[in-house]
Structure 1
Amino acid sequence: MNAPIVDPLQGDFPEVIEEYLEHGIMKCISFNRRGTLLAAGCTDGGCVIWDFETRGIAKELRDKECTAAITSVCWSKYGHRLLASASDKSLTLWDVLTGEKIARTTLQQTVLQARLYPGSLSPSFCLACPLSSAPLIVGLNSGNTTVLPILTSDEAVGVSTLARKPSDGSITYSPCSACFNKYGDLVYAGNSKGEILIIDHKNVKVRALIPASSGATIKNIVFDRRGQYLLTNSSDRTIRIYENLLPSKESLKKLDEYDELQGGTSDAERLKIIGGKCLSLIHEFQDSVTRIQWKAPCFSGDGEWVIGASASRGEHKIYIWDKAGSLVKILEGPKEALMDLTWHPVHPIIVSVSLTGLVYIWAKDYTENWSAFAPDFKELEENEEYVEREDEFDIVPETEKVKASDINEDDEIDIMTVEKDSGFSDSDMSQDELCFLPVKPCPVVPEKQDRCVESSSKLPDSNHTASPLSVEAGQDGHLTNHTPSPLDAVENSTAEDPEGMRLKRRRRPSEKGLELQAEKVKKPSKPIKSSGKLLKSSKVVDPDSSNGNYGGDSSDD
């Protein structure tokens, strides 16, 4: 869409479902940093990567050792690696370009969410949030794990924040959410008391604590792309936005300065005072009428919008707020529960996953503003009679010559330098990114054409009518209509030729063929008598006939 003809007063957020993607049963999704590739984890243990520009499958990653459902997928910063966590307690690191498995490790707990370290081109460790354990730093190559100190002592914070002791004396944990900051030097984790802990994962030390007023369990915690704002989703049905007061780079040095200023206070007070200098609460979002629980909240690509999905069963509703706290749009999808949700890093596009495994793409319904081309342009609501001026079409001699162009045709044009994208602050390393996957052309073999991947993107329009060419005979001899699709050619060919030896094309009969068919219906066919003369027939002779011909012209010797 041309930007000059788009009305700037329209909100820059999606409005309708543009299309949907279908490939098995997908449960979780994630965009790469540029939004050109979309990774989805399936229930059969495989991962599929879509080329988001063409809506086609670019690569499929599958491990024979993993047949359990994928719980989360995460891209590395520059798109060369993909981390997938599965419900069989495994973590698998993939090379996206080659499709090879780099590393695989198995933990003691099922990982609900895993995030790669964002400070390296080829990260070797990740942050894992198990089902009933404190967050872990996992070495993907070595398999070593480090438990983050989110379970602080009674002297440091007052009471333990995650642990609870059942009757048998063992310690169990509530599910905990955690994420890296933009450059990965700190981990922000939320616990069951509604507190946000800032952790130095290299030194395994809690550096700050931000208490919440409600004390509800934090279920989700995520940064925006620039690392300027932090979003939390709590069990009290409230989404909170905090402003990150620490600098993007050298955050640890800033925390060291705060430690020196608060050296004389106790540990509990010192952590809370430092936490007040790290995060500042801006807004709280909630539905005061229905009081619904939220699921998979996140920021828009530019950080101007906040979205959250309804966690109610049978609802596919997406709420959109601005950062000022106003609800601007509610998107209602099919009557299917929503599993995962994400916003495109660059464009106003939302991608959601339903309980049935379909991926829905929400896009903006643009209204073109043609008056932006010229100030005297006028849009008409209906036809009007135009009255021309008296001298409008008079031939006027050319009095002024056209001004010469100021463009120097001898200047060299630079086609090698790539302009930096202002939307990304660290675009200087964009040459190291993997934005698209190369396509290897392969010859079309008729015998193997029916084995091609039958996944494609489809439009969610069920009102298409079948064309006359899509009417064919069913197995019982009755005529059946079906909606034509790109897969019909492959399915029809395999049905007509079960041995797979050749493909048959469906052609429209010519006018002469239609006339011959009409004559067959009117006149009953006569048996062909054997004689010494050459007989010609325009019909197909039955294979069981005495002359043994199977079609075309027939003759008797």
Structure 2
Amino acid sequence: MNVSIIDPLQGDFPEIIEEYLEHGVMKCIAFNRRGTLLAAGCSDGTCVIWDFETRGIAKELRDKDSVCPITCVCWSKYGRHVLVSATDKSLTLWDVVNGEKITRITLQQTTLSARLHPSSRVPSVCLACPLSSAPVLVDLNTGSTTVLPVSVSDTGNGVVPALRNKFSDGSPPLTPTAACFNKYGDLIYVGNSKGEILIVDYKNIQVHGIVPVSGGAVIKNIVFSRNGQYLLTNSNDRTIRVYENHLPQKDGPATLDELSRTVDEVHGMEKLKAVGSKCLILSREFQDSINRIHWKTTCFSGDGEWVVGASGSKGEHKIYIWDRAGHLVKILEGPKEALMDIAWHPVNPVVVSVSVTGLVYIWAKDYTENWSAFAPDFKELEENEEYVEREDEFDLVPDTEKVKESNVNEDEEVDIFTVEKDSAFSDSDMSQEELCFLPAVPCPDSLELQDKYGGSSSKLVDSNHSGSPFSEEAGQNGQPSNPASSPLEAVGNSMGEDTGLTESSKRRRKPSEKGLELQAEKVRKPIKKIKASGKLSKAKNKSMEEQDTSNGEYGDDDVYM
């Protein structure tokens, strides 16, 4: 997208709340790689998988061993696994397709954020950022952990510094500490409380570069854009910074070694800073210079063209959107509810936000209706114009159609097997192993509606022990009565008998509001007929009794005569 020629007031970003999702009290969200599924962690320890196309619940992952609130959810690269962290210090890896728990590991502290290694097909390693300790690499197969460095010491030689538990002044490092993988997972970027970004090699856990952040404030979040070209930091000084990544996407450690050899004139800390200055270059800073609000969380748009910041003020649900040039293009104002988490759709201009009440709001672009899109020949006019017809407009065979010739080569073979690359995912093709959709379970209607209509229709039934007026009619016809508790059940039973389906083979689904009204209307008609036939039968019986009595009297007279 060429941002330089696009009007910022007509940009490709969300504008209004299109819809909201409700299921328990949701706390955190995450899209899968294609944006077709949305994972949401709830306060009761449940992870809900939403089908984002149909807005239905596709899967519900519930762990009996953990009922604590979820702090973070993370998808694997191919969307078949979800990593969930909770306040009970647990990390749980789920199989999304089967809904089974693969492994559960308990750490020493609560994990605030967790990320699976991006290059592994089967998740085996994750990066966890605990509440009050350094980030750790967790082996999901064995449960072993490796602590990452959060600070280095100036040793005065060319040796890469090792991990330190305290700063030079003896004070412990402030926590929590942010960390994230790069695009291919061969490097880890760690932000510490001194306002530094450490570039750590994933394999040997060595620091190869340090990038000092202006201000020296605590770094709360570190996020990479999807293409890996930009890095975003959120600091305690209420400023969002975007850095350009000058390292290649692959073989990052090898490039760092080459940069280290080019700066042999300096050693120790200065050497690490010299290498870091060539890896990340500050591009732009974003902040609210008027209100000076702090940011709850930040993210990039799917294409990396927009920078998003969620307000951390109490009682505010505001989302700020900037372009990478630093211009504020939109402020989305939601309800009077504090904001907990946000996520931008990987493909579409859609933002999903979570409020403190547990609702998930879906922000989308407000598209204007364009009827000419349905008819290419239709032309919209601002005012009436005089129409001049063509000479052959009303001829059976216009001359303009006679001279038309088709430019389509009918003999050319059409390739229907080759799948073109998606421009939004230029890094890789669609993999057959990737999970994009799950069968969605339709949400049942509210029980209040069923009770409302079921109660109103049950009043039509006589309040006797038989339960249903159909039992009386069946008894008169010499058939065994089958009492029903309500007319809805009677209708359902009759439908089941007509179709020949057993109770176990029927798909139990609560009818909708309109269906309940139609069923109640169907029940009212036979009830009226039954009551009317009952009145007629009573009148007929009474007349027959009178006739029998009169005949009996004349008959006796005839006998005695």
Q: Deviations over 1:18-59 (max 9, x none)?
A: 111111111111111111111111111111111111111111
Paired letter, 1:336: E
Instruction: For residues 296-333 of structure 1, give each alpha carbon's deviation from its aligned partner in whole angstroms, at most 9, with x where no partner exists.
Output: 21000000001111101111110000000000000011
SS at the partner of 1:306? strand
* Letter matched to residue 284 of structure 1: E
Q: Which residue pairs with 1:57 in the alignment? A: 57
Report the 3-state secondary structure (helix = DSSP H, G, I; strand = E; otherwise coil) of the residue aligned with 1:506.
Answer: helix
TM-superposed deviation, 1:415:
2.3
Q: Cα–Cα, structure 1 residues 72 and 475, in superposed 2: closer, same or farther, change >3 Å?
A: farther
Of 262-271 and 402-411, more deviation after overlay is shown by 402-411
**Which residue number corresponds to residue 88 of structure 1?**
88
The letter of the residue matching 1:150 is V
SS in 2 for 1:432: coil
Deviation for aligned residue 1:103? 1.2
Please give the per-residue CA displacement for 1:264-310, whole angstroms capped at 9, x wherever unaligned: 42211001000100000010000011000012210000000011111
SS of 2:256's partner is helix
Hey, what does 1:237 align to over in structure 2?
238
Contact 1:16 1:365 in 2 (8 A): yes
SS in 1 for 2:241: strand
Q: 1 CA distance for matches of 2:162 and 2:412?
A: 72
Q: Whole-Å Cα distance in 2 between the matches of residues 475 and 499 of structure 1?
A: 11
Does the 8 Å contact 1:164/1:173 carry over to 2?
Answer: no
Shift, 1:398, TM fit? 3.8
Residue correspondence of structure 1 range 457-468 to structure 2 within 5 A: none
Map 1:323-362 → 2, pairs under 5 A: 323-362=324-363
The aligned amino acid for 1:306 is V
Greater helix share, structure number: 2
- TM-score of the two chains, using structure 2 as the length reference: 0.76
Aligned CA distance change for structure 1 residues 269 and 423 (closer, same or farther; 3 Å): same
What is the match of residue 480 of structure 2? none
Change (3 A) 1:496 1:141: farther
Deviates more, 1:39-48 or 1:416-425: 416-425
**Maintained 8 Å contact 1:112/1:130:** yes
Deviations 1:353-397 (A, max 9, x none): 111111111110113556789999753457x48555595855386
1:135 maps onto 2:135 in alignment: yes
Q: Deviations over 1:200-253 (max 9, x none)?
A: 132111110011220111111100000000000011110000000100011111
Displacement of 1:85: 0.6
Question: Over aligned residue pairs, what C-alpha RMSD do you find?
Answer: 4.1
Shift of 1:190: 0.7
Structure 2 CA distance for aligned equivalents of residues 381 and 470 of structure 1: 51
Q: 1:362 to 1:33 in 2, by over 3 A?
A: same
CA contact (8 A) 1:162 1:192 kept: no
Which residue does the alignment assign to 2:41? Answer: 41
Pair 1:395–1:97, CA change in 2 (3 A): same
Deviations 1:175-215 (A, max 9, x none): 00100000000110111111111111321111100112201
- Asked if the contact 1:338/1:353 (under 8 Å) is kept, the reply is yes
Equivalent residues of 1:136, 1:145 under 8 A apart: yes
Scaled by the length of structure 1, the TM-score of the pair is: 0.77
* Structure 2 gap segments, 5+ residues each: 1-5, 461-483, 494-509, 546-561
- Correspondence for 1:247: 248
Superposed displacement of residue 120, structure 1: 1.1
Partner of 1:266: 267
Aligned residue pair count: 485
Residue 310 of structure 1 corresponds to which residue in structure 2? 311
Q: In structure 1, what is the equivalent of residue 506 of structure 2?
A: none
Letter in 2 for 1:506: E
Contact 1:73 1:82 in 2 (8 A): yes
Separation of aligned partners in 1, 2:16 and 2:172: 47
Q: Give the whole-Å Cα distance in 1 for the aligned partners of 2:426 and 2:455.
A: 58
Q: 1:104 to 1:266 in 2, by over 3 A?
A: same
Counterpart residue type for residue 151 of structure 1: S
Provide the rounded CA distance (Å) in 1 between the counterparts of 2:52 and 2:544.
63
CA distance in 2, matches of 1:40, 1:274: 39
In structure 2, give the amino acid aligned to 1:126. C
Question: One-letter code of the match for 1:360?
Answer: Y
The alignment status of 1:414 with 2:422, answered yes or no, reads no
